[in-house]
Amino acid sequence: MVKIYYYKEDDSPMTAPHDSGEPVAAEELEKLGVFYKYIDSQASVDNLATERQYKNRDYITLDGATFPGGEEALNAKLDVFFNEHIHEDEEIRYIIDGTGYFDVRDNNDRWVRTLVEKYDLLILPAGIYHRFTLTDDKFVKALRLFKDEPKWVALNRIDGNTESNEFRKEYFASLS
Ligand code: KMT
Ligand code: NI
């Protein structure tokens, strides 16, 4: 079951829960433009993809035991996913197996952490600051849906040019 809460900064690894003990309601995520749904059949996912005109998809498996290049390569990949960033596209992820954490910034720039598990679908709007990591189980298999051609460009906040991005501005304007 999905679990949503404010992230607590501490010295534990990114894959640790970082649970502040302060829950966040699903409606609060909605206000940030994040869509969450529990979907327990592949057919329903296919329907949603058709309805929303998601034309492309692929599968990603992040698993220390099978990742090409091994655990070290997986950790390098996780560091990339955990670097705070935005996209010019929605990020749509459906968890087929395993677990992971999606962190999104709220209106006050606090991290909201969502623990996703099997059958959880999460859609992050274009322009929202976010990051991803595995849990301590270090395993996830997910379906990635795309409206058009897969776009992989992540614009990292640390680079300092994200605030002037058109998609960021549009997202920011959509919050009220
Ligand atoms: C992303 O863009 O952050 C990812 O694809 C993370 C892995 S999907 C579970
Ligand atoms: Ni992303």
Q: How far apart are CA 106 and CA 5, in angstroms?
A: 11
- The pLDDT value given to residue 95: 98
CA atoms within a 13 Å half-sphere pointing along the CA-CB vector of 126: 15
Mean pLDDT value of segment 161-174: 97
The enclosing domain of 147 has a CATH number of 2.60.120.10
Q: How far apart are CA 114 and CA 116, in angstroms?
A: 6
- How many separate domains does the chain show? 1
- The ipTM (two decimal places) reads 0.91
- Closest ligand to C-alpha of residue 82 is 1
Please tell me if the CB atom of residue 7 comes closer than 6 angstroms to any atom of ligand 1.
Answer: no
Residue keyed to tokens 């209106």: 107
Query: Measuring from atom 6 of ligand 1, which residue has the nearest CA?
Result: 132
User: By residue range, what is the domain housing residue 43?
Assistant: 3-174
Phi, psi (deg, nearest 5) at residue 153: -65, 125
85 CA to centre of ligand 1 in angstroms: 11
Which H or E run includes 89?
none
Beta carbons of 175 and 107 less than 8 angstroms apart = yes
At CA 170, angle to CA 164 and CA 173, rounded to 5?
A: 105
107 CA to centre of ligand 1 in angstroms: 22
For the stretch 108-157, pLDDT in tens is 999 999 999 999 999 999 999 999 999 999 999 999 999 888 777 999 99
For the stretch 44-87, pLDDT in tens is 999 999 999 998 999 999 998 899 999 999 999 999 999 999 99
